[in-house]
């Protein structure tokens, strides 16, 4: 029943550092660790000591194989995969996810294009451009879902009350 803009904004407000907002942080941390020459072990254990979860690791798996055929350089993606190899030795759900894959591949795209200096790449990553890609794609999907629900005259899904458990 909501208008298009309200539906879009409601969906976009679900994006945060744990959902869709980890692309920038994944790129920042992978770039910093790779550029400083840290091994995946040093990187992951250093993050653990600081009490910081590695952004781009955990949840659903991304497939990095397609990028090696289409990118001039995949050094950041290869590093992210090495980090995944190490994190998988800790727990089987600590896989490279889509945020980590997009973050590392975007770094490879920028570095491999030859169009940006190291300083420009650092600035792009610091500003937060990469989460903007996720927001753009998510916006298109949310608009499509809104139109579908309106066209099909489907109301907002509500889970049956009898299936909801309330506790005090």
Per-10-residue mean pLDDT, the chain, length 168: 88 81 90 96 96 87 67 91 95 90 93 95 91 90 91 80 78
Task: Give the helix/strand (H/E) hosting 80.
Answer: helix 75-88
For position 62, what pLDDT does the model report?
62
Identify the pLDDT of residue 8.
Answer: 93
Half-sphere exposure of 138 (CA within 13 A, CB side): 19
Please check whether residue 111 is in contact with residue 79, taking contact to mean a CB–CB distance below 8 angstroms: no
Nearest to 104 by CA among 44, 39, 25: 25
How far is residue 64's CA from residue 6's CA, in Å, rounded to a whole number? 35
**Predicted structure pTM score:** 0.77
Q: Which two tokens stand for residue 73?
A: 């350089």
- How many Cα atoms sit within 13 Å of 72 on the Cβ side? 7
pLDDT for the residue 98: 85
Predicted pLDDT of residue 68:
67
- For residue 60 the two structure tokens come to 């659903």
Which pLDDT score, from 0 to 100, does residue 125 have?
92
């Amino acid at each position: 029943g909501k208008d298009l803009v309200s539906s879009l904004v409601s969906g976009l407000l679900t994006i945060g550092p744990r959902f869709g907002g980890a692309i920038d942080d994944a790129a920042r941390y992978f770039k910093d660790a790779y550029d400083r020459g840290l091994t995946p072990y040093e990187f992951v254990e250093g993050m653990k000591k600081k009490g910081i979860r590695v952004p781009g690791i955990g949840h659903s798996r991304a497939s990095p194989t397609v990028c090696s055929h289409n990118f001039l350089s995949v050094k950041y993606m290869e590093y992210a995969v090495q980090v995944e190899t190490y994190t998988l030795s800790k727990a089987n759900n600590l896989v490279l996810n889509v945020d980590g894959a997009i973050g590392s591949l975007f770094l490879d795209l920028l570095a491999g294009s030859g169009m940006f200096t190291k300083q420009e790449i650092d600035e792009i990553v610091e500003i937060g451009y990469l989460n903007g890609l996720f927001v753009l794609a998510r916006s298109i999907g949310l608009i499509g879902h809104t139109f579908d629900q309106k066209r099909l005259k489907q109301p907002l899904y509500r889970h049956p009350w009898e299936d909801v458990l309330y506790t005090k």
